[in-house]
Amino acid sequence: MSRNRKWLAATAAVVMVAAFAAPVFHKAIQAALARAASVRVALQAAPGDPAEPIEARGSQPKRPPVSLTIAGEISGLAPGAAPESILVRVGNRSFAGQIQGGGYVATVDALDPAEMVDVEVLSQRVRYRSVVGSFGKLIAHTGGDRRVDAVELPTLRVSPWSSALAFLVRTALKGRDAVSDQEFERATRAVSGADLFTANNLLAGVASGAAALPGGYTDGQQFLQDENAYRNWIGSVSWPANPELAFAQADYAPLRDLSELPSQMLLMAPVQLDNVPVFSSAPQLLLANTDGSYSLHDGQAEPGRPNYDAQLDASGEVVLLPKSPRVIDRYEGIGRTRMTLARIVLRRMFDGDRHDLWVTREEWTRSFPDDPSREPQAYHPVSLWSVSDLHAIARANTWIAAPSRRALPWVCAIPVNIPTHHELLGECGFVQHRFDPGGSGVTEDHGNKVGANMQPQPAGAGSDFGWIVERTQLLMQTPQVSLRYWSIDGEDYADTVIYLATGTSSGVLGQTVVGVSGSLAVDSVPYTAAQAQGTWTLGTAFAQAAAYPNLHYTLEIQRNADGSGEYRDDSVESGAYTILMRWQVASERLYETQTRARFPSGGTRFVSDCASAFADGAQACAPTRIRYFRPLKRVGDRLYGIEELHTQFELKPPGYTGNYEVYVNVRPTFQQCLGGSCLAPPPALRLPANPTAVESAVKIPILAVVRPGKTRTAMPIYAFQCSACGHSFDRLQKLSDADPSVCPSCGAEAVSRQLTAPQFRLAGGGWYETDFKKDGDKKRNLADAAGSSGSDKPKPAESKTETKAEPAKSEPKPAAKPAASSD
């Protein structure tokens, strides 16, 4: 994010405005120049600039080009090699650069500040490229001297990293370059760390000779552009992505001062371009505290999480040092693995206006308390993040006013039995919320729509909550959790929300979790069996960020008029396969069932249903997966709504009517019609929900509300602080309850109620399940969190089972299950 930039001096500003003004504004510009002359503002043209044009009566003024000098740096060449040629492109024109020391110098000009600029360097086994940005960005960094160097604008550095980033952004944009700074930044959000680290390593390795360049290719870039050859190379050689190269190279954007860190720094995992990124991995949130320390929050409800001191080292990297020890015990088999954090290093790799790219390295030490003979091991995971100022990107005027309805993620306490019974805070559903006047509300249609017997069941009772809208945030209080929501992407009918949840009830008090999910408008969407027929694809088919080599992943669901159907999946990873299924629409909700049976031969296969399978001689059979979908909003050929996936792995003999061990995943998604009767115009919507945007000027208190027929009561949250140790905590209590007097941290009787709003601090633990199919982005379930560190994330083994099973968010289990597919 651009901060502390050098802007044009007054004289240069007048020249630039005059140069870039459209003819229609010429008279106004001339008047401005006359006023500047009257106050003795001397306009000095740079050497070589054309003189100011003379306007003839009836003619249009000619606009002279603006000339700038750029001075960049080059890194990552072959040992002893020098650049052979340097080419700078401005729009569709090219300028030759000159080699100067370890870099280059070029003089370029442009008529339009929106023209994009890039630099290409040729050398031995090297064709590097860097997208510098718009010519207007160059102007903004000149400081009035008509010269920009790599210290002022880091994108003037050309390296394997800049080349890999430029190439993968072009891949995300389907084979074309970005046409603006904003589009380039937006596309960087779709670049995955695994792709960028691997491409960077390839280009650097080819240049240094560490990686042999196959025959027929002149440089690493040419080889990278051959998608099939690059895919085969990745699969056939032991060539690690080596993320550490991001910290070993000279091409990055160092910070000059800690003040460049935003007070609310959001670190997002890759998201698929041009779609609501509700399927992204859990983000991280770095918040500045009033005492100068920082809190780093993620998708794990890790109890006892410390705050951090932040330092800026000599290289311009941010170093976070835990203020108290951060030690986590994982339970693996019969032994423990103890993780001890030394520090976290953050390096800014790309400095954008709204979205940066950063890499983080967490420096842990593994030790083994139950096996003293094992030597401690270093563990330093490196991650790539798209980083934004949350305060700057949060959408304003997005939250609803009462009365209205909206579907949002639901966070609750989840029981975990390993190693001992305890609770962890985590996302356990996606629920329709009804917002009533006075700051009260209740969830509707809450609970699983498929039972443990793998049969449809009605929803359970709702839960009361309190709510207020405070500027760009929606604040909610449930019986167990305080939540803050920010809307950051999308449209009013379907947007992406970041939430910060803090446990307020016994068992999860003080635990906190950060997550990313969706927020969906609620309409009563007519949905009949006729409208469900046809060929569909799912939102999860679009969930993965732009990958290279392309995964060529397609997903189709065929629903026939007789209730039969097929699930068709085709990808490079697993090939093409088809699964039979049955489907029905009941109460305008969709149920799709996949069934698996075992036959005397010992093999299992998917079948249409158990009745026909037993008639064919099956020994055991059971529903393997039921997909429930409730549409909430229709937009074009898409239906946005709530999806529940109920998965189990047991096969049962004929006549079995008992329960199964069911894994549940509830999430927002959309289904898109590709062909068939589902493309027919739908009936008019009933009871449309047209939320009214609201920007609260006055905070509405979260009122205590007792609903008729309800035993639960929405209660207010209060903030308390201990004057002895400084510990702050939030508490949900009735209006009639006495305030606590004993500090839960130090035990001192020095607790008093704060007058300010409650502060949200993360402690937390637990894994946030995601939907990526790629090796580098495999999901983890909350069962793993029973004794696992949030930073110790070994990749689960790739499953090739036919069940394509998905672990649950809401029912963590100690036993590992096959890896889940993205759908």
User: How far is CA 681 from each of CA 303, 330, 585, 632, 733, rounded to the nearest angstrom?
Assistant: 52, 54, 18, 17, 50
H or E segment to which residue 132 belongs = strand 126-134
**Based on the domain organization, do 190 and 110 belong to the same domain?**
yes
Flag whether 243 is in a domain. yes
Among 283-292, 616-625, 805-814, name the one with the lowest average pLDDT.
805-814
pLDDT band at 714 (very low <50, low <70, confident <90, very high): very low
**Based on the domain organization, do 540 and 640 belong to the same domain?**
yes
Q: Is the pLDDT confidence value at 269 over 60?
A: yes
- What is the sign of the dihedral through the CA atoms of 423, 408, 805 and 332? negative
Torsions phi, psi for 809 (to 5 deg): -85, -40
Question: How many domains does the chain divide into?
Answer: 3
**Based on the domain organization, do 187 and 104 belong to the same domain?**
yes
Give me the residue label for tokens 């280059």: 104
| Omega cis (within 30) before 53 | no
Give me the helices (H) in 619-750, please: none
- What's the token pair of residue 338? 């103890």
Q: Contacts by 651-654 with C-beta closer than 8 Å and gap 24+?
A: 651/596, 651/597, 651/598, 651/604, 651/620, 651/621, 651/622, 652/620, 652/621, 652/622, 653/619, 653/620, 654/610, 654/614, 654/621
Q: Is the pLDDT confidence value at 794 over 50?
A: no
Q: Is the pLDDT confidence value at 767 over 60?
A: no
Flag whether 273 is in a domain. yes
Q: Which position has the higher pLDDT, 735 or 328?
A: 328
Q: Which position has the higher pLDDT, 372 or 623?
A: 623
The percentage of the chain sitting over the pLDDT mark of 70, rounded to a whole number, equals 73
pLDDT band at 803 (very low <50, low <70, confident <90, very high): very low
Decide which of 197, 214, 248 is a domain's last residue: 248
Q: What is the per-residue pLDDT for 727?
A: 58
Q: What is the per-residue pLDDT for 199?
A: 94
pLDDT band at 60 (very low <50, low <70, confident <90, very high): very low
pLDDT band at 738 (very low <50, low <70, confident <90, very high): low
Q: What is the per-residue pLDDT for 678?
A: 84
CATH of the domain at 535: 2.40.128
Q: What is the per-residue pLDDT for 398?
A: 86
Q: What is the per-residue pLDDT for 350?
A: 97
**Based on the domain organization, do 187 and 239 belong to the same domain?**
yes
Flag whether 808 is in a domain. no
- What is the sign of the dihedral through the CA atoms of 302, 306, 310 and 314? negative
What's the rounded mean pLDDT across residues 694-719?
31
DSSP 8-state class, residue 65: P
Mean pLDDT, rounded, of the chain: 79
| Omega cis (within 30) before 668 | no
Nearest to 298 by CA among 785, 734, 736: 785
Asked if 717 contacts 482 with a C-beta cutoff of 8 angstroms, the reply is yes
H or E segment to which residue 232 belongs = helix 227-236
Q: What is the pTM of this model?
A: 0.77
Radius of gyration over alpha carbons of the chain, in Å? 29
The percentage of the chain sitting over the pLDDT mark of 90, rounded to a whole number, equals 58
pLDDT in tens, 439-477: 999 999 999 999 999 999 999 889 999 999 998 999 999
**Based on the domain organization, do 197 and 74 belong to the same domain?**
yes
Q: What is the per-residue pLDDT for 463?
A: 95
Q: Is the pLDDT confidence value at 777 over 90?
A: no
Q: Which position has the higher pLDDT, 758 or 821?
A: 821
pLDDT in tens, 650-670: 999 999 999 999 999 999 999
Flag whether 639 is in a domain. yes
DSSP 8-state class, residue 252: S
Q: Is the pLDDT confidence value at 754 over 60?
A: no
Residue 697's CB: how many other CB atoms inside 10 A?
A: 7
What's the rounded mean pLDDT across residues 125-133?
97
Flag whether 647 is in a domain. yes
Alpha-carbon span 360 to 791, nearest angstrom: 11
Alpha-carbon span 516 to 477, nearest angstrom: 18
SS3 28: helix
pLDDT in tens, 573-587: 778 999 999 999 998
What's the rounded mean pLDDT across residues 361-366?
97
pLDDT in tens, 193-223: 999 999 999 999 999 998 888 889 999 999 9
pLDDT band at 395 (very low <50, low <70, confident <90, very high): very high
Flag whether 255 is in a domain. no
pLDDT band at 750 (very low <50, low <70, confident <90, very high): low
**Based on the domain organization, do 232 and 347 belong to the same domain?**
no
pLDDT in tens, 28-46: 433 433 433 333 333 333 3
Nearest to 298 by CA among 71, 511, 554, 608: 511
pLDDT band at 403 (very low <50, low <70, confident <90, very high): confident
Q: Is the pLDDT confidence value at 151 over 70?
A: yes
**Based on the domain organization, do 222 and 82 belong to the same domain?**
yes
DSSP string of 542-599?
G-SPP-SS----EEEEEE-TTSEEEEEEEETTTEEEEEEEEEEEETTEEEEEEEEEE-
Q: Which residues pair with 159 in a beta bridge?
A: none
Question: Residue 650 sits in which domain range?
Answer: 529-679
SS3 143: coil
What's the rounded mean pLDDT across residues 496-500?
94
User: How far is CA 106 from each of CA 75, 120, 143, 671, 751, rounded to the nearest angstrom?
Assistant: 17, 12, 18, 51, 65
Q: Is the pLDDT confidence value at 523 over 60?
A: yes
Contacts of 559 (CB under 8 A, 6+ apart): 532, 533, 534, 535, 536, 565, 583, 592, 676
Flag whether 272 is in a domain. yes
H or E segment to which residue 172 belongs = helix 160-172
Q: What is the per-residue pLDDT for 44?
A: 34
Torsion of CA 2, 156, 145, 21, to 10 degrees: -70
Decide which of 248, 280, 304 is a domain's last residue: 248
Asked if 11 contacts 44 with a C-beta cutoff of 8 angstroms, the reply is yes
Q: What is the per-residue pLDDT for 272?
A: 79
**Based on the domain organization, do 273 and 222 belong to the same domain?**
no
**Based on the domain organization, do 292 and 179 belong to the same domain?**
no
Q: What is the per-residue pLDDT for 556?
A: 95
pLDDT in tens, 249-268: 999 999 999 999 999 999 99
pLDDT in tens, 526-549: 899 999 999 999 988 877 666 788
Q: What is the per-residue pLDDT for 552?
A: 78
**Based on the domain organization, do 244 and 277 belong to the same domain?**
no
H or E segment to which residue 192 belongs = none
Flag whether 186 is in a domain. yes
**Based on the domain organization, do 233 and 273 belong to the same domain?**
no
Nearest to 293 by CA among 252, 273, 322: 322
Nearest to 390 by CA among 467, 289, 284, 276: 284
Give me the residue label for tokens 């809190």: 295
**Based on the domain organization, do 583 and 624 belong to the same domain?**
yes
Decide which of 393, 426, 445 is a domain's last residue: 393
DSSP string of 489-507?
EE-SSEEEEEEEEEE-STT
DSSP 8-state class, residue 822: -
pLDDT in tens, 154-168: 999 999 999 999 999
**Beta strand extents in 648-806 (DSSP E only):** 663-675, 705-706, 713-714, 717-722, 728-732, 751-753
Asked if 197 contacts 246 with a C-beta cutoff of 8 angstroms, the reply is yes
